[in-house]
Amino acid sequence: MSASFENLLYDLDAASGILTITINRPTKLNALNAATIADIDMAMQRALDEPQVRGIILTGSGEKAFVAGADITELAALTPTQAVRAAEYGQEAFCRIEDSTKPVVAAVNGFALGGGCELAMACHMRVASDNARFGQPEVNLGLLPGYGGTQRLPQLIGKGKAIELLLTADMMKADEALRLGLVNHVVPQAELLPFCQQLLGKILGKAPLAVGMVLECVNAHYAKDADGYAAEVKAFGQAFESHDFKEGTTAFVEKRAAVFTGK
């Protein structure tokens, strides 16, 4: 199953329930302009509304870049007011990814710089090809990250190292990103999508309701207006009311594979 977007490829494998969203601006190294961010947001909203979609892979077309950054030509023409609006919408779109109760894996193939690094960090997990490069080079342009980079990078790799990378604009190779905890795995380029599919397939074999609750509770830890521990207790109680909990515990006792329904 596929859908039509100006700057994206949207391909759903009905058998597995895995949707692959591919940013498709190869001549621009998949740089993010306003239209592409809008496409990503619309694709995510559609994915969250489609019950057939159970997990999502987000990647870029070609082998050179996941997303090489923002479209600088478009960015340079913005007024301060327009820039604020663009950042607000970009953050909203990226938060929709982060807040998804369906797992989202970034398959990072090549450069993930600026907005591309921010987009990858908004995903729940990141798998990098061995030629991947990460960075937040905005200070080179007299800017700072506007799509959540100053918030998510410290969460993922720690405050001190994040400040260093944000202020020096240094790029990280894939192995360093793995060592720092920015990515979960590094694999050869040819194995990137198959590995992500295998990772998601393992997750999708678990209880869908519980998977969604885990994502909500982990995100609640970082929310300014939420108590992550309280959210975890509430979700834990709700899980006990679910069919999936009863099925999972019964199947364990009966030593058989559970058949989860997401209810």
- The phi and psi torsions of 225 (rounded to 5 degrees) equal -110, 20
DSSP summary character for residue 62? S
Owner of token pair 């990814």: 97
Own/partner long-range contacts of 193-196 (Cβ < 8 Å, ≥24 apart):
193/20, 193/57, 193/59, 193/107, 195/127, 196/57, 196/59, 196/105, 196/107, 196/127
Q: How far is CA 128 from the centre of its chain?
A: 12
* Residues that are catalytic: 118, 138
Running DSSP on this structure, what letter comes out for residue 112? E
Number of H helices, E strands in the chain: 11, 11
Q: What SS3 class is residue 229? A: helix
In whole angstroms, what is the distance from residue 198 CA to residue 196 CA? 5
CA–CA separation, 15 vs 10, rounded Å? 15
- Backbone dihedral angles phi then psi of residue 94, each to the nearest 5 degrees: -70, -35
Which DSSP string corresponds to 140-167?
GGT----SSHHHHHHHHH-HHHHHHHHH
**What single letter denotes the amino acid at residue 209?**
L
Residue 26 in tokens: 């190869």
